[in-house]
Copies of this chain bind each other. A is one copy, B any other.
Amino acid sequence: MAEHPNSAERAYEKLRTMAIHFDFKPGERVNESALTKRLSVSRTPLREALNRLVAEGFLTAAPGQGFFCRPLSPERIMELYQVRAALESEAIIRGIARADDAQITSLCGYLDETEDAYSTCQNAAELLEMDERFHMKLAELSGNAELVRLLANINERIRYVRLVNLHQLIEQGGLAGDDQASLSMHRVIALAVQARQTEPAVQALRDHIERRSEETVDLVRLAFSRLYVPDS
């Protein structure tokens, strides 16, 4: 963890992790002096990190009142899902137009590698990481660094909700079916990209993403309950 030499960067990494996991409750005020002790840095680099997180959408800042955790509302989450759909659709379009066969084959290779783990894994965090990695690799086919950067940001901001969703699916035992569907969706997308068929690929992607966003309201409610009844 002592990777970064400067304390502002260290504070930023830790705070971002906390923000992703909603260690701050939605809407809650973030106390600076408490964090200085917790992270062993002074207020200057701490505030630098907090400001970065504001610009990235993890926190909000009210003048004269300091920093607050972003609210967790169904509307906001749905917005993020829509932006995600926008960015990934574009990535597919550009990827099909630009990526060479080797790159696309590499994406399919990743699916092959993770197929077994994906089917057997019962750990929500691991499943989500594999899923996210596939989507990031897909996005990287675009060769567009800005697109990738924005998508990474969006993914981090919806990660918690998706995690809670997966948790629930595993508990309900309904994961197997849904999980397989997700995996085969990835396969469908990858194959369409490989065949350079833009419309089918984009359509498959949008179906894949939109499936979740329909359940968003319930998802957010569930996420709230997990946050305020911290048993798991």
Contacts and interface: CB of A to CB of B under 8 A. Distances in A.
The size class of the interface chain A forms with chain B is: 20 to 34
Contacts of A145: 79
Interface in A75-97: 76, 79-80, 82-83, 85-87, 89-90, 94
A2 interface: no
A201 to B, nearest CB: 15
Contacts of A147: 79, 82-83, 86
A92 B55 CA distance: 26
B79 A85 contact: no
Question: What's the number of copies of this chain in the assembled complex?
Answer: 2
Contact of A150 (B44, B48, B85, B150): B150
A83 B146 contact: yes
A133 interface: no
A56 B57 CA distance: 11
A92 B124 CA distance: 34
A88 B147 CA distance: 14
Contact of A144 (B44, B83, B87): B83
Contacts of A55: 51-52, 55-56
A170 B79 CA distance: 39
A52 B79 CA distance: 23
A156 to B, nearest CB: 13
A190 to B, nearest CB: 20
Interface of A: 4-6, 9, 44, 47-48, 51-52, 54-57, 63-64, 76, 79-80, 82-83, 85-87, 89-90, 94, 142, 144-147, 150
16 contacts: A6-B63, A6-B64, A9-B63, A47-B48, A51-B51, A51-B52, A55-B55, A57-B146, A79-B144, A79-B147, A82-B90, A82-B142, A82-B144, A83-B144, A86-B87, A86-B89
